[in-house]
Chain A
Amino acid sequence: MFAFIIRRTALMVPTMLIISAIVFVVIQLPPGDFLDTLASQLASQGEGLADSQIALLRERYGLDQSILVQYLKWITNIVTALDFGQSFEWNKAVLDVIAPRFWVTLGIALLSLALTAVVAIPCGIYVSLRQYSLGDNLATFFSFLGLAVPNVLMTLVLMYASFTLFDSNPGGLFSAQYQDAPWSVGRVLDLLAHLWIPAVVLATAGTAEVVRVMRATMLDELSKPYVDTARAKGLTEARLTMKYPARIAINPIVSKLGWMIPIIVSSEAVVSIVADIPTMGPLLLRSLLAQDMYLAGAIILLLAFLTVIGTLISDILLALLDPRIRHAME
């Protein structure tokens, strides 16, 4: 088991290197660079930028070099000094731009994952035990509703409801009085009061999907002979359901965990823009539009890293849950 974790962790290094190369090529693909965007912006405002000045800037940022040289410089700085380069647009180190937003994003993602698990797994177990009952049909109805309603709409509805029913202003990350206050219990509660809307919106689609998967796997497992064996021992239905089929049906959910985080991060952009929450999604969108290549590259690389880490965590959890996988590894 320990050897497996070491091996898997070591494998992450080449994986990340390959991903970084692809990321770098992809963010270079659109024609032009940040300086072209800047020049056209300035031109539209009536301020020209002399070609000589552009050439000078290009040389300063190393944008005139070949893509290979640029990439090697970029990746070397990341690996040796954790230096992701400068953001052209923010005129700050990329890491300083991303860091505060990264934690907000991770917070929202984990909150919505937890919400999904807490709601969807018991719900999936319940509807599998009461197939075609009223509860099952209601759950199916709300699952499809959750899958079908666009996140934008749901965010707006929740914000409106929160505003009219609870008289709270749900936009942003903090209320005015906590904006610059030091950390306190009140500030954490205020933060949660603002984060629940994106967390709920993002959890809804995930919940709907997990309920369907859980229901299908449970129905499959419930028909297996080992359930009869457990009944033949005289166990209660509740106890045998939790110990046997539910325990096994959770495996496919765990193996999905790895790629649920990147999905949440990529779908949070819309929610965050609507609810005005400073996360990575809107930042990525803006950096791509502005061709702020180092910022965009760093964010995409971070997403890839989260995916790889997430996959590693689900693989470890799966091995812990399923002895067949554990033994196949040895």
Chain B
Amino acid sequence: MRAPTAAPLLEVDNLRTHFTTPGGLVKSVDGVSFTVGHQETVCIVGESGSGKSITARSIMGLVRRPGRVVGGRMNFRLRDGSTVDLAAIPPDSATYRAIRGREIGMIFQEPMSALSPVHTIGSQIEEGIRLHLGFGARAARERAVDALEKVGFPGARQRLNTYPFQLSGGLRQRVCIAMALACEPSLLIADEPTTALDVTTQANILELLLRLQGELGMAIVFITHDLGVVAEIADRVVVMYLGQVMEAGPASGILGHPRHPYTRGLLRCVADIEGDGLLRAIPGIVPHPLARPPGCPFSTRCEEMMPGLCDTTAPELLAINGESRVRCHLWSSGQPHVTEGAVHG
């Protein structure tokens, strides 16, 4: 389908990341597949416990013990044109370290705790530059100033020696972004980078990320539970639930014509605030990871659950048309079994 030149930047295929806990095996990510094209923004959406953050950490090789990437492939295209399977290299190997911070940058949810409280922001930004680009102290300092100026950090040169606790939340997140982008990676992984910020700051940071994406020509994998953010920035959306992809496809399709009852539920949470002012949360809670329901993982909360089918047989992830995929028995034959409520504006 795709021309060779349009080969994706990152191709995640059947990724599985499991945690061995005293209570049993937790399959946090269980067979997740999606692709990220060059300069594309892919949003991974889901509630807490959906495995979206673990997916991001798996790509970055940052899964903590007792978690481990146990299967699947993550083919990533390097700057020099070659492709590596990130799932096949040990996270603490020199190969992976050369990719982290250089080819893939990452920003985190809490800009305060993501920065060391006892090191200056200059010292924290410069070390990646010195490591990956082989710059000396002076050159690294200049580059750090550049990076800070790019993210709209006022008075960058004079404030290299400030500490994170002297900055506001928005400025801290700008420091984190400058740090992640100092070596101009081709992919930025953003794990809920605006969740801990107030609404105005949130909007500023999103705007900044989109501008930088254009300037640096990078792709973004954006983890969020906020569909408002998705609507603003996403090219494509991956909806996750209990470690699996429920629905994936172009943003316009997912937001405009959601197929999966879970996606529709998520959208109702946002849409109805503007309607009658009531928050329509999806009923029930995400099942405990050690008590996965049989059949479809969403069957315990689904309004369109079909007894005898959804609670016994796990649905496959099916291609619907072109780039859209959905994991739901309603769409098993390629057509919805129930048309009512399938299309929401």
In the complex, are the beta carbons of A233 and B100 less than 8 A apart? Answer: yes
Band of interface residues on A: 20 to 34
Expressed in whole angstroms, the minimum distance between the Cβ of A12 and any Cβ of chain B is: 27
Given contacts A225-B108, A228-B62, contact A234 B113 (CB under 8 A): no
Q: Is A60 an interface residue (CB 8 A)?
A: no
Taking CB atoms, residues of chain B closer than 8 Å to A7 are none
Q: Is A114 an interface residue (CB 8 A)?
A: no
From A223, A236, A321, give the contact of B97 (CB < 8 A).
Answer: A236
Given contacts A324-B163, A324-B165, A327-B166, contact A229 B97 (CB under 8 A): no
Given contacts A229-B176, A233-B179, A234-B102, contact A324 B113 (CB under 8 A): no
Taking CB atoms, residues of chain B closer than 8 Å to A226 are 113-117
Q: Is A231 an interface residue (CB 8 A)?
A: yes
Bound together, the chains give a CA A121 to CA B332 distance in angstroms of 61
In the complex, are the beta carbons of B97 and A228 less than 8 A apart? Answer: no
Taking CB atoms, residues of chain B closer than 8 Å to A236 are 97
Taking CB atoms, residues of chain A closer than 8 Å to B99 are 234
Count of B interface residues, CB-CB < 8 Å: 35
Q: Is B13 an interface residue (CB 8 A)?
A: no
A230-265 interface code vs B (CB 8 A; 1 in, 0 out): 111111110000011001100000000000000000
List B253-297 residues whose CB lies under 8 Å from chain A: none
Expressed in whole angstroms, the minimum distance between the Cβ of B75 and any Cβ of chain A is: 20
Q: Give the interface centre of A226, A237, A248, A321 by most chain B CB atoms within 10 Å.
A: A226
Taking CB atoms, residues of chain A closer than 8 Å to B149 are none
In the complex, are the beta carbons of B180 and A232 less than 8 A apart? Answer: yes
List B99-149 residues whose CB lies under 8 Å from chain A: 99-102, 105-106, 108-110, 113-119, 124, 127-128, 131-132
In the complex, are the beta carbons of A232 and B106 less than 8 A apart? Answer: yes
Q: Is B29 an interface residue (CB 8 A)?
A: no
Taking CB atoms, residues of chain B closer than 8 Å to A324 are 117-118, 163, 165
The 9 A-B pairs of least Cβ separation, nearest first, read: A234-B101, A233-B128, A234-B100, A233-B101, A232-B106, A234-B97, A225-B113, A225-B114, A226-B116
Q: List 13 A-B contacts (CB under 8 A).
A: A223-B64, A225-B108, A225-B109, A226-B116, A228-B114, A233-B127, A234-B101, A235-B127, A243-B127, A248-B117, A248-B118, A323-B117, A323-B163
Known: A229-B108, A235-B128, A248-B116. 11 other contacts (CB 8 A): A225-B110, A226-B117, A228-B57, A228-B108, A235-B131, A236-B97, A321-B118, A322-B118, A323-B163, A324-B117, A324-B165
